[in-house]
Structure 1
Amino acid sequence: MDPLTQGFAGAALPQAAVRRTGAATAGLLGFLAGMAPDLDVLIRSSEDPLLFLEYHRQFTHSLVIIPFGGALCALLLHPLLGRRRGLTPLTTWLCCTLGYATHALLDACTTYGTQLFWPFSDVRVAWNVVSIIDPLFSLPLALAVGLAARTGRRGFAVAGLCWALAYLGLGVLQREQARALGEALARERGHAPVEVVAKPGFANILVWKTVYRAEGRFFVDAMRTGWAPLQCPGESLAVLDRARDLPWLDPASQQARDVERFRWFSAGYVALAAPGSDRVIDIRYSLVPNEIDALWSLQLNRAAEPAAHGAYRVHRGDSQAALPRLWHLLWAADC
């Protein structure tokens, strides 16, 4: 999730659970600790553009690291906040650990992938039940945390946590409905049985992006769930075959290794941006669910030295044009 939502979730749990301190203090400690795991984005290299993909949501997000992450936050925050507000080191650690603990689990509810079981496994867990940014999830949670801090009534924090859990539960139901709609569309195309993956669209859990693999291609469609279900067929691209699509690429080169690193990061959902292109894209994300308009990619260079890395690219796209199309999918009677 976005950093502020992570902070609000981190604040709500110690506000609701720790009665040895005021809700404002517990919330502040939990808020800061709840955002702390994302400091791993600072692990970067000017020489290796993909390094941050390997470390973001890795060891700082592991379940086994939670008590140690909480301890490190407490070590920094107790002299600044905890001691000045009369807390014992143990109470500061408890608030920080509870706040830290919410982060990885909330991230795993999104689609990006979180290494919850590092160092035992590098599997990127993604439950696909909520968008990385979703105001309907975040704003009520933020309001509850603010009211708990202002009034000292922990019931507001409890209500905020209940809202968050209920919203995530609704996301699970919507995801399964989207998958069922996607499977039905695949059957209509003669692609059955296939595994359909459903991911929430941008900032909502009503319109979903479904992806499945059949006949050597990825098929990307949009499914609207809820009271007015709608299937909106989209685009398809050939699954990346390095030998076929990039015959010029030396398998022993660093760029070839970068392609495999990017494939791992993308959970295998990689394709060329277009036939003959030298750009490998992650097809999981786009502003409009039934379009293949990747938000990031790996740009290769045919003239590069064997030791040279590929270039990681972020594509913002034309959001002014995309958002009206997304709005249409949310509310219109047709695609």
Structure 2
Amino acid sequence: MDPVTHGLLGATASQSFASRDKIRAAAFTGLASAMIADLDVLISSSADPLLNLEMHRQFSHSLVFISVGALIATVLVWWFVKSRLSFKETYLFSLAAYATAGILDACTSYGVKLLWPFVDERYALNIISVFDPLFSLVLLLTTALVFYKRQKLLSWLSWTWVVLYLLWGSGQYGRAEHIASQIAAQQNHLPVKTVIKPTIANELLWSVRYVSRNDSLYAYGVRISPFSDPVIYKGKAVRLLNWRNTYADYKGTVLYDDIQRFAKLSDGYLVRHPQLAEVIGDGRYAMLPTSVSPLWGIEIDTTSPHNHVKFETFRDAGPEVRNKFLDMLLGR
């Protein structure tokens, strides 16, 4: 989730059990503490571009790290609130706020290693976009109301909104999942695995992708409105890359190891970029739900197999892409 929304939910968590005279200090503490988990984006290496991808949403978002993360947040924040809060109070408010970070991120896509270091798996509910302005705006208004009125009971407005919105997202996911099954059945496909998630900044237009038994990835856009029938936008298809066979001759090199790391990060959804033959992308993400042109990927250079791969992003937000997205979002 974006840092602002993390901060707002953290502030809500801290405000929820603060006394009237400490609500504002608690809100500040929660706001800052909830955002600290995302400082893992600073863990990077120019020599190893995949390190940042591997470390993001890893240990700093795990359940066992909450108490440690809260302590770090307390040390950083207490100097600003020590005239209002004791160190213990600051830690408790930080603990409540920091605990929301990994859980909220797990509601989005890409995944969070909640059970690290015991389970090396990313958990993703895919029920809300990583940026949802409606969700964030209402959370901002309700959190600000608690801050202004200094009435912690009003924090139930924030929690009610959060729970109801996430439940709606869960319901939308269920509908998209049902439609995905119908699409596959109509095409006489037997999906091996499926990834379903909301597109950016909304809960109406969903991305549906599944891999059939012939190792082809199929992409669809599905608009799900509570006031009208679903609209299905048929997308493109592409073969998954059999990278183990394609790059078998490079086994034991840095190049092969990096492809293997990226395959794990992409949950096996590796595809060739349609315009860039030397780029292997994550087939789960694209600018449009109907596109199989990956949003990011790694550049392969077989002439230098002992060097790390390059990580590239391909965010084309030009007029053509925006118009296509809006047409699908509005059901046109």
TM-score range, shorter chain: over 0.9
**What per-residue deviation string (whole Å, max 9, x for no partner) do you get for residues 124-156 of structure 1?**
111100000000111100111112112212233
C-alpha separation between the residues in 1 aligned to 2:191 and 2:283? Answer: 21
Residue number in structure 2 paired with 1:284: 284
Query: Contact between 1:183 and 1:194, CA under 8 Å: does it hold in 2?
Result: no
**What per-residue deviation string (whole Å, max 9, x for no partner) do you get for residues 224-257 of structure 1?**
112321111111111110144446x511111111
Residue 84 of structure 1 and its aligned partner are, at CA, apart by 1.6
Alignment of 1:1-335 (within 5 A): 1-19=1-19, 21-81=21-81, 83-85=82-84, 87-192=85-190, 194-214=192-212, 215-226=214-225, 227-228=227-228, 229-246=230-247, 250-274=250-274, 277-304=277-304, 306-333=305-332
Q: Which moved more, 1:180-189 or 1:272-281?
A: 272-281
Query: Contact between 2:191 and 2:210, CA under 8 Å: does it hold in 1?
Result: no
C-alpha separation between the residues in 1 aligned to 2:200 and 2:91? Answer: 35
C-alpha separation between the residues in 2 aligned to 1:246 and 1:234? Answer: 29
Query: Contact between 2:176 and 2:206, CA under 8 Å: does it hold in 1?
Result: yes
C-alpha separation between the residues in 2 aligned to 1:220 and 1:244? Answer: 25
C-alpha separation between the residues in 1 aligned to 2:12 and 2:69? Answer: 18
Query: Contact between 1:271 and 1:283, CA under 8 Å: does it hold in 2?
Result: yes
Residue 321 of structure 1 and its aligned partner are, at CA, apart by 2.3
**Structure 2 unaligned spans of 5+:** none
Let me know the Cα RMSD of the aligned residues. 1.7
**What per-residue deviation string (whole Å, max 9, x for no partner) do you get for residues 73-115 of structure 1?**
112211222x122x12111101111110100000000001110
Query: Contact between 1:298 and 1:312, CA under 8 Å: does it hold in 2?
Result: yes
Change over 3 Å in CA distance of 1:276–1:284 after alignment to 2: closer
Q: Secondary structure at the match of 2:258?
A: helix
Change over 3 Å in CA distance of 1:262–1:21 after alignment to 2: farther
**Structure 1 unaligned spans of 5+:** none
Q: Which moved more, 1:30-39 or 1:323-332?
A: 323-332
C-alpha separation between the residues in 1 aligned to 2:290 and 2:17? Answer: 42
C-alpha separation between the residues in 1 aligned to 2:259 and 2:218? Answer: 21
**Identity, % of aligned pairs?**
33
